[in-house]
């Protein structure tokens, strides 16, 4: 075991979204809906679609390469790969192992983490723990999903929400006050059926013709139930992490929430009394990319120079499980 550290930090970020764009106007030809209806209820105008035959590890490769480059490290310096996803290339091996191979990282631990849309926040907590304990020095954390392949394209209230994309960060040792201040995560399995994909698990293996016909392999979501729970848990964990670390909402420079729905984002901002100018919103052009939404948004804010040295940044997410959590960073 290596020497433990006081704080870890994000050394570099990267993101990638597929080139193909699917607009609301195009979805009008697939299900009974309109561009105006989708935009008003979700805040989404378009989403990206992964190319046929491309798995999530391949989709995430540019994001991972860019994060490693931005960190100033080489692939050979990575000694742990954590891949947050609910749409892995295969049940076995993990997407993390496929990505490890594609990056020629060499022998090191690599595993997938399934916390749905909360996956990046969960992964950040894991990365921080590995670094603080001395079990790792440079962690590649990826949040990526190909959600359009598990969306039910016969359900007009479901299929409109999802998009494909990948974000990545390299987490390493901090040599100053910047870094991951804290992360808090929760889950409540008793509400697991609110967001559910049964197919692919052991309960329906092997998937039968009847299962496919009934769309058991696709995502099902109780929108109303999710909305109420999401807003409360989002807000509660955000306030909790600030209070725990002796901070208030006035100390925040930027809030990057999971991009589930514009109404959820606006409701959380209102409940936290945060002006929307401090809230990052990317859902209009990317839709809900599950574990990818936060790292993609984070990378874009850095590229757009919206994040400055010493900024206090709050990340918060909510997803299937049910899972939720928040991370507090000093840049």
| 245 belongs to the catalytic site | no
| 258 belongs to the catalytic site | yes
The C-alpha angle with vertex 106 and arms to 102 and 112, in degrees rounded to 5, equals 65
| 74 belongs to the catalytic site | no
Catalytic one among 24, 66, 261, 288?
288
Do 142 and 81 form a contact (C-beta atoms < 8 A)? yes
Separation of alpha carbons 331 and 324, rounded Å: 23
Encoded tokens for 322: 């049910």
Catalytic one among 117, 158, 159, 233?
117
Q: What radius of gyration do the chain's Cα atoms show?
A: 19
Which one, of 42, 74, 17, lies nearest residue 295 by Cα?
A: 17
Q: What's the sign of the alpha-carbon dihedral 162, 198, 265, 293?
A: negative
Encoded tokens for 233: 């848990």
- Helix-, strand-, coil-residue percentages of the chain, each rounded to 5: 40, 25, 35
Catalytic one among 66, 126, 258, 261?
258
Do 281 and 43 form a contact (C-beta atoms < 8 A)? yes
Nearest-10 crossing angle of helices 95-102, 56-71: 60
Whether the upstream peptide bond of residue 322 has omega within 30° of 0, thus cis, is: yes
Q: What's the sign of the alpha-carbon dihedral 221, 149, 189, 211?
A: positive
The set of catalytic residues is: 117, 258, 288
């Amino acid at each position: 075991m290596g020497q433990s550290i006081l704080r870890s930090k994000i050394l570099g970020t990267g993101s990638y979204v597929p080139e193909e764009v699917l607009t609301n106007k195009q979805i009008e030809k697939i299900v009974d809906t309109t561009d105006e209806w989708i935009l008003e209820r979700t805040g989404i105008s378009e989403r990206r679609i992964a190319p046929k035959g491309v798995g999530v590890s391949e989709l995430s490769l540019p994001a991972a390469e860019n994060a490693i480059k931005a960190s100033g490290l080489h692939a050979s310096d990575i000694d742990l790969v954590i891949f947050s996803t609910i749409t892995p290339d295969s049940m076995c091996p993990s997407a993390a192992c496929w990505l490890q191979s594609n990056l020629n990282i060499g022998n090191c631990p690599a595993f997938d983490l399934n916390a749905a849309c909360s996956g990046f926040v969960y992964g950040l907590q894991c990365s921080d723990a590995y670094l603080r304990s001395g079990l790792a020095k440079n962690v590649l954390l990826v949040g990526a999903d190909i959600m359009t392949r598990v969306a039910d394209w016969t359900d007009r209230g479901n299929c409109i929400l999802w998009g494909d994309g990948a974000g990545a960060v390299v987490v390493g040792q901090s040599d100053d006050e910047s870094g991951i201040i804290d992360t808090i995560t929760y889950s409540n399995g008793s509400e697991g059926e609110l967001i559910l994909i049964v197919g692919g698990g052991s309960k329906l293996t092997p998937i039968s013709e009847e299962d496919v016909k009934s769309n058991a392999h696709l995502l099902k979501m109780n929108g109303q139930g999710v909305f109420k729970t999401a807003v409360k848990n989002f807000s509660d964990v955000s306030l909790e992490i600030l209070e725990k670390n002796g901070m208030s909402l006035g100390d925040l420079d930027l809030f990057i929430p999971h991009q589930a729905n514009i109404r959820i984002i606006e409701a959380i901002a209102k409940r936290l009394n945060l002006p929307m100018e401090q809230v990052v919103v990317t859902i209009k052009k990317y839709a809900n990319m599950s574990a990818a939404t936060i790292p993609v948004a984070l990378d874009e804010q850095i590229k757009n120079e919206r994040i400055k040295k010493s900024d206090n940044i709050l990340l918060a997410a909510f997803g299937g499980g049910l899972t939720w959590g928040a991370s507090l960073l000093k840049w």
